[in-house]
Each structure stands twice: as C-alpha cells, then as structure tokens.
C-alpha cells in the first residue's frame, strides 16, 4: 500500500514519547498478530499492523493523530476485536490504536440515569456496575461479555433485544471524540433532547472508526427489568412461524424483548450437535421469544398471551422457560448455531442481511435455491423481530478450498441482490468494514457513496483514520 509512509525509527520514538515504551508494541510479531484480525473467521481478511499503541487519554490520542497526519501514517482504532466485518483490521498497515487501557467507568449519575464511561469498558461490566442501583444499559450485542462499548458505538451494535430496546445508538447521549486531525470535541452530553446544529453525535455512531476516536461516552440508562420469561415455540414451517411475529405485536399488543428465528436446518444441526432432546424433528422452524418486565405477574400475563396466540396460529408446541437453567437451555440452542456449523465445515461466511421482517418467509426458498445451485449450505437464523438475519454461507466439505473464495463471492453477490430486491440491505449490525465494501454499490447509489466519501474527507482530509473501509475501492477518495 504505497500511498502511506512506513513507521520509521523517528516516528516510533515520537510514539514512545507520547504513551511510554511499555505501551508500544513493535517488532514483536507474535504479540502484534493478535491485533491483525477481528472475529471474521477467514484469515484472508487479516492484516498485520506495523505498530500497536495503547494510549490512556484523549490528549495522547490527539497527539498520535497529529503525528500520524504529519507523517502520513494510517491509524486503525480498535476495541476488543470482536467485530465481524474487519472494521478493526489495519488493512493499510501502520498503527493500530487500541483503547484497551481506557477502561474506566467514570461516573454513574443515578439521578439523571446516565453513565459516563471510557471506550475500553467491556459492555457487560457497565451492567454489573449499575445493577444494584436497579439500572441497566440496554445495548446488547451477542458478544456482550467480551466486546468493548466503544466498538458497540462505532458499529452501532444491535443484537438480540433490538426489537424492544432498539440498537446502541438509541442510548448514546454524548461523546468526547478525537477527530482524525487531532482536535478533541464534545458532542452532546447528559441531555435527552438536543437539536442544536446537525446531529453529528449520531453521525459518529456507526461510523466504524472512520470519523473519530471516542474517548468518553455518555450512555442513557433504563430501569432494570426484574422478571423475564422465554418461550421456545415450534412451528411446522417458517411461514407459519413468521406469520406470528406481527400478530404478537398487533393482536397481542406486546413488544417482546427478543424474537429469534431459527430455520429447520439451523435447528436440526444445532440440536444434534448439542444432543438436545427437544422434539425438534417435527419442527420446520422455531421462534425463541423473550419477554421482560417489572413484575412476575406482568411477565406471566405477557407470555401467556403470546403463547396462546401462537397456539391459535399454528404452533406445534409452546415450551416455557421460567428459571435460569431452562432459559439457558433454550438460548443455548440459539447461541450454538454458528458453533454447530463450524463442526460441519469450518469455512463459512457469517452474513448480516436485514430485510423488512414480514419478508422473511420469501427469502427462505431463495436461500434454498442458492444452496441447490452452489456447493454451499445456508442456514438462516437471527433476529426475526427486526428482520436482521444471520444467513451463513457454509462451504460444503467436498468443495476444494481453493475454489471457495470464488464461490463465496458469487453467492454473496446473488444473496445481496435478493436482499435488495426484498427491500433490504447488506448489513444490519455487523457493519461494512473491509469485508463488505466491494458490495456497497449493490445497495447504495454512486451519489450517496460519493456524498459520504466527501463527508469522510471533511473530517479526515489526509485519509489517516481507518482508511480503505466502508466505501468501495477506486473512483476517487472524495476530495483527494
């Protein structure tokens, strides 16, 4: 990538002066390797940085950004590396800036229901810190026990509870941001309403580490639900299952915390993998529905309403999980789908398409058709309540590995075209990063891509911060 300067001894020396020698990794390939990839399984998406730097403050990050601009060295910000689109991968080399040392919960403002944290706090730790105050942060990516909240905001993480609680962005009230050129700015704060100027705060949310590095995060909190129940509902087919989703909300008048969909292939492979003895053979699809609330009576009334509705609308059986053990059992099925398919074939592409949720039954035969025409197996599962499906392309074991990337590309293009045709788009919560950038033109017009490149250039005229992400290669990098 000849357009950037390599890390020279003088640059390294300046970096060491900024953060201290202890917090600069250089010439230690085995340690640096951990910063070369995220959770995307295919090693083809990894790229080694030249140096990893671990600053402790906004001031240090500001100095690093000014230095990077001066020498024209790319900087890729990184949280926990649990992303699924290559967003934290330094595809142009240069510096990986890890926020792992910035992991303090700065303030719990119980009276305003706001928490102020640094970007390197593990998301779940926020909730551990405030649960005794009866509060919680409703952002809930599935990797909640390992991911950092900074990454959640950079990706605008969604997850299993988005139908009721929305995605991460809904809870971001303020950010302190180091801009790509090194200025430190404050957007928003503890305000629940704020319409002064453009909503730059929410431009930052979901910007995938390309517009700024968050150094302080103001999150809105909610009262912690005290009761919950899960229903595992077996249906004869996907269409019957999905028909129930709008009914629950429209006729049941309930917004569940989660409605997770699992197709027959996902259910059968996972139940076999787990030796689960539920009568899954007779199910053509399953819904996993969670309700939560502030009293057991309310939750009981809601799960009964939903369960009866499903029974009246084609459900084969409604199982109810009311305690931790049984709730874990039903969620284990959902959480182990990816794992179960890795046993079948470890080479796969985990996708993140999103379509209007009533269209889910329409996409299923299309996926089946794809798996019949190409040597891939395509389980489909995900967040039925919001139409975000983790369709996964799993290489059939008999397909030679050297043919995989071509097959993967061909199937992805077809999958994304089908998604667009059904009114959807290519990523609901994982982001574009480096993994999906070449596919952006399938769902976004050249005008919109150009407009966003121009925005990027206003923030980052030298293309220093997390370059080669989101937007497809070529056709000019904005104003440059």
Partner 1 sequence: MKIIVPIKQVPETSKVKMDPVSGTMIRTGVESIINPLDLYAIETAIRLKEKHGGTITVISMGPPQTMKAIREAIAMGCDGGVLLSDKAFGGADTWATAYTLTLGVRKLGGADLILCGERATDGDTGQVGPGLASMLDLPLVTYVGKLELAGSGKFLAERLVEGGREIVSVAAPVLMTVVKEIGVPRLPTLRGILRAKETEIPVWGPADLEADSTLIGLNGSPTRVVRIHHPQVTRTGEKIVIKEQSNVEKAAQSIIDFMKQRNIL
Contacts with partner 1 by CB under 8 A lie at 30, 231-232, 276-278, 303-304, 307-308, 311, 317-326, 329-330
Q: How far apart are the first and last CA of the chain?
A: 17
> What is the nearest approach in angstroms of partner 1 to the Cβ of residue 277?
4
Closer to partner 1 by Cβ: residue 79 or 307:
307
Q: How far is the CB of 87 from partner 1 (least distance, A)?
A: 25
Strands of the sheet containing 24-26, edge to edge, are: 24-26, 51-53, 95-98, 75-78
- Pick between residue 247 and residue 320 the one whose CB is nearest to partner 1: 320
Token readout for 412 is: 């992805």
Contacts of residue 321, Cβ cutoff 8 Å, sequence gap at least 6: 229, 230, 231, 232, 327, 329, 330
Residue with tokens 């089908």: 418
User: Which lies closer to partner 1 via its Cβ, residue 235 or residue 471?
Assistant: 235
State both tokens at 330: 């039903």
Nearest CB to partner 1, comparing residues 133 and 317: 317
Q: How far is the CB of 29 from partner 1 (least distance, A)?
A: 9
Distances (CA, A) of 469 to 46, 179, 211, 300, 368: 13, 17, 11, 46, 31
User: Residue 178 or 289: which CB sits closer to partner 1?
Assistant: 289
Instruction: Name the nearest CA neighbour of 349 among 297, 294, 408, 420.
Output: 408
Nearest to 390 by CA among 404, 400, 380, 377: 380
Distance CA 111, CA 109 (A): 6
Minimum distance from CB of 280 to partner 1 (Å)? Answer: 12
Q: Which is nearer to partner 1, 184 or 245 (CB)?
A: 245
CB of 130: closest distance to partner 1 in angstroms? 16
In the complex with partner 1, the residue whose CB is nearer, 191 or 322, is: 322
Q: Least distance in Å: CB of 249 to partner 1?
A: 19
Q: Quick one: tokens of 276?
A: 């689960």
Candidates 299, 137, 327; CA nearest to 228 is 299
Closer to partner 1 by Cβ: residue 146 or 327:
327
Closest approach of partner 1 to the CB of residue 333, in Å: 11
Please state, in angstroms and rounded to a whole number, the distance separating the CA atoms of residues 125 and 293. Answer: 22
Using an 8 Å Cβ cutoff, are 298 and 225 in contact? Answer: no
388, 354 Cβ separation under 8 angstroms: yes
Write phi, then psi, for 419 (nearest 5 degrees): -60, -45
Distance of closest approach, residue 272 Cβ to partner 1, in angstroms: 14
Which helix (H) or strand (E) segment holds residue 42: the answer is none
């Amino acid at each position: 990538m000849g357009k950037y300067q390599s890390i020279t001894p003088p640059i390294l020396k300046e970096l060491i002066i900024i953060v201290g020698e202890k917090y600069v990794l250089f010439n230690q390939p085995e340690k640096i390797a951990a910063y070369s990839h995220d959770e995307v399984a295919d090693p083809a998406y990894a790229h080694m940085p030249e140096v990893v730097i671990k600053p402790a403050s906004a001031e240090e990050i500001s100095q690093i950004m000014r230095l990077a601009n001066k020498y024209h060295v790319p900087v890729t910000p990184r949280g926990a590396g649990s992303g699924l689109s290559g967003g934290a991968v330094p595809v142009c080399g240069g510096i990986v800036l890890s926020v792992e040392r910035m992991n303090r919960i700065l303030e719990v403002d119980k009276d305003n229901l706001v928490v102020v944290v640094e970007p390197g706090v593990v998301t779940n730790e926020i909730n551990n810190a405030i649960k005794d105050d009866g509060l919680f942060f409703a952002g809930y990516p599935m990797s909640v026990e390992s991911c950092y909240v900074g990454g959640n905001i950079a990706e605008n993480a969604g997850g299993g509870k988005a139908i009721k609680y929305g995605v991460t962005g809904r809870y971001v009230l303020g950010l302190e941001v180091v801009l790509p050129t090194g200025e430190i700015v404050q957007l928003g704060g503890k305000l629940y309403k704020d319409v002064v100027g453009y909503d730059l705060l929410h431009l930052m949310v979901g910007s995938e580490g390309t517009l700024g590095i968050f150094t302080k995060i103001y999150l809105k909190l909610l009262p912690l639900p005290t009761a919950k129940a899960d229903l595992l509902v077996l249906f004869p087919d996907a269409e019957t299952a999905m028909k129930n989703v709008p009914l629950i909300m429209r006729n049941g008048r309930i917004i569940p915390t989660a409605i997770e969909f699992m197709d027959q292939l996902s259910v059968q492979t996972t139940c076999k993998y787990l030796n689960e003895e539920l009568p899954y053979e007779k199910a053509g699809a399953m819904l996993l529905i969670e309700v939560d609330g502030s009293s057991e009576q309310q939750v009981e009334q809601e799960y009964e309403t939903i369960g009866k509705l499903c029974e009246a609308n084609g459900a084969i059986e409604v199982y109810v999980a009311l305690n931790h053990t049984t709730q874990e059992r039903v969620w284990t099925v959902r959480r182990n789908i990816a794992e179960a398919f890795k046993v079948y074939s470890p080479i796969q592409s985990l996708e993140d398409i999103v379509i209007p949720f009533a269209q889910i039954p329409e996409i299923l035969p299309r996926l089946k058709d794809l798996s019949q025409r190409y040597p891939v197996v395509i389980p489909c599962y995900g967040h039925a309540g919001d139409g975000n499906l983790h369709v996964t392309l799993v290489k059939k074991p008999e397909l030679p590995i050297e043919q995989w990337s071509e097959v993967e590309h061909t199937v992805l293009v077809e999958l994304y075209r089908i998604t667009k045709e059904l009114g959807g788009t290519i990523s609901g919560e994982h982001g574009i990063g480096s993994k999906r950038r070449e596919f952006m033109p399938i769902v976004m017009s050249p005008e919109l891509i150009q407009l966003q490149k121009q925005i990027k250039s206003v923030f980052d005229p030298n293309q220093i911060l997390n370059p080669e992400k989101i937007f497809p290669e070529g056709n000019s990098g904005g104003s440059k």
